[in-house]
Amino acid sequence: MNRRYAIAAAAFAALLVAVTAAKILHVPVSYVPWAAPSARAVEQRGPLWDGEKATIDIFERVSPSVVQVAAKSAASPLMGEESQAGGGASGTGFVWDRDGHLVTNNHVVANGGEIAVRFASGEVAQVDLVGTAPNYDLAVLRIRSVRQLPAPIALGSSSDLKVGQSAFAIGNPFGLDQSMTSGIISALKRRLPTHGGREIANVIQTDAAINPGNSGGPLLDSAGRLIGVTTAIISPSGSNAGIGFAVPVDVVNRIVPELIRNGRVPTPGIGIVAAGEDVSTRLAVEGVIVVRTAPGSPAERAGIRGVNFSTGAVGDIITAVEGKPVRRLADLTDALEQAGAGKTVRLTVKRGSDTRDVNVSIVDIDRS
């Protein structure tokens, strides 16, 4: 073994001396190339995985119905949801029906002005703002004219979603159109404050990458059905941090037809001003503390009493609606929205040590 090693070492040393001598004497040395100069042959891959096929199918079916949304204003030639490099800005929307209605977030088009959309085909169309619902961060647009409208996205349901099931988002992050990301449903029944000063209930949380520009786009299940409208992220940096939110499709399917019919949705209420949750926490109160009632409101007519400002004594505390517990204001507003303006609900009200039920009419507080 040692003799064989010695012979190999001697041969290598001789080669090294020869190369060095050739360099000194400028004697050309021929090198054998390590690889052929021609391009390498392409290896044939096997069939796509079933999961890959399903994801590709979702994108190919749904992406034509997803649009980029841009709103013009006097302040900037392109003002939409998020400013991008070079002065551009955009959000996302999608085809709702065959009448040319599109759905997006209210905050994408809240600046007003002219609005245009770009389809996956590259075609640009002007749209009109049909209606907005700030309390749900939803808006409906209508296309003025387009040669051929893509098919509406199939509707799913958000009532039977499970944490852990797949979720897919298609949108225009940072103005990059037709981007698809995937993840799972991370949580359900989140509550999301809106620009309207209320909360959206039963919001979907997902870790599918959602970035500025995705707002207003569709969140899809593994069948390619719409299960939500992406609307917000939590991120210290402003970019995706794995926590995104979507308005559940069951809410969307209730609000959008109302916007198409009337351009707005009622804001159901009973005419009270409620104390903040911090006050309830300090007082160790579970329920909604009524600060005051609006003059002539359904709450006043039902005998509901607010805080006595002379003595500072707490008045009525709403603890249930139709027998369902109310622990904070969002529980009450959610119950009133589910019932709708024009209906009557039974409230359980606590005053001191006494508890009673009262029937209160729900009105559209924006028009009362």
Q: What is the CATH number of the domain that holds 277?
A: 2.30.42.10
Give the Cα separation of 350 and 259 in Å (integer). 37
Task: Give how many domains the chain has, as a whole number.
Answer: 2
Q: How far is CA 213 from CA 174, 246, 247, in A?
A: 5, 14, 16
Q: Which residues are catalytic?
A: 107, 137, 215
254 and 318, same domain (yes or no)? no
Of 264, 294, 315, the residue at which a domain comes to its end is 264
* CB-CB contact of 178 with 189 (8 Å): no
Under a CB-based contact definition with an 8 Å cutoff, are residues 100 and 65 in contact? no
Residues 144 and 249 in one domain: yes
Paired tokens of 24: 């000194």
Where in the sequence is the domain holding 61, given as residue range(s)? 50-264
pTM of full prediction above 0.85: no
Whether residue 350 lies inside any domain: the answer is yes
Residue 27: inside a domain: no
Same-domain status, 181 and 327 = no
Task: Please report the pLDDT score of residue 283 as a whole number.
Answer: 87
| Residue at token pair 């499709």 | 249
Query: Which residue, of 205, 235, 264, is where some domain finishes?
Result: 264
Tokens 């300090």 locate to 282
Amino acid identity for residue 368 in this structure: S
pLDDT at 163: 97
Question: What is the per-residue pLDDT for 350?
Answer: 94
Rounded-to-integer distance, Cα 288 and Cα 348, Å:
11
Token pair recorded at residue 194: 């809106």
- Specify the pairing of strand 226-233 against strand 272-274: unpaired
The answer on 242 and 352 residing in a single domain is no
292 shares a domain with 210? no
In this structure, the dihedral spanned by the alpha carbons of residues 271, 277, 280 and 285, taken in order and rounded to 10 degrees, is: 90
pLDDT of residue 72: 73
Q: Is residue 157 part of a domain?
A: yes
**Shared domain check, 295 and 240:** no
> pLDDT tens per residue, the chain (368 residues)?
555 555 555 555 555 555 455 455 555 555 556 656 788 899 988 999 999 999 999 999 999 999 999 987 645 444 344 544 434 457 999 999 999 999 999 989 987 788 999 999 999 999 999 999 988 999 999 999 877 899 999 999 999 999 999 999 999 988 888 999 999 999 998 888 776 557 787 899 999 999 889 999 999 999 999 999 999 776 555 555 678 999 999 999 999 999 999 999 988 999 998 888 788 888 888 899 999 999 999 999 999 999 988 888 898 999 999 999 998 887 898 899 889 889 999 999 999 889 999 999 999 987 76
Residues 298, 304: contact at Cβ < 8 Å?
no
Reading the block at residue 336, the tokens are 């009133």
| Co-location of 104 and 149 in the same domain | yes
- The reply to whether 350 and 319 lie within a common domain is yes
Let me know whether 86 and 204 are in one domain. Answer: yes
Please indicate, yes or no, whether residues 83 and 225 belong to a single structural domain of this protein. yes
Residue 292 CB neighbours (<10 A): 18
The domain that holds 177 is classified in CATH as: 2.40.10.120
Decide which of 244, 264, 284 is a domain's last residue. Answer: 264
Residue 150 forms part of a structural domain: yes
Residue of 264, 229, 267, 260 whose CA lies nearest to 133 = 264
Q: Are residues 216 and 289 in the same domain?
A: no
Dihedral sign of CA atoms 279, 284, 287, 289 in order: negative
Decide if 33 is inside a domain: no
Residue 4: predicted pLDDT: 59
Question: What's the CA gap between 355 and 30, in Å, rounded?
Answer: 102
| 34 within domain boundaries | no
Domain identity same for 306 and 223: no
Q: Is residue 195 part of a domain?
A: yes
Gap between the Cα atoms of 346 and 47, Å rounded: 61
pLDDT on residue 329: 84
Please report whether residue 42 resides in a domain.
no
The whole-angstrom separation of Cα 123 and Cα 48 is: 32
pLDDT tens digit sequence for 25-48: 555 555 556 656 788 899 988 999
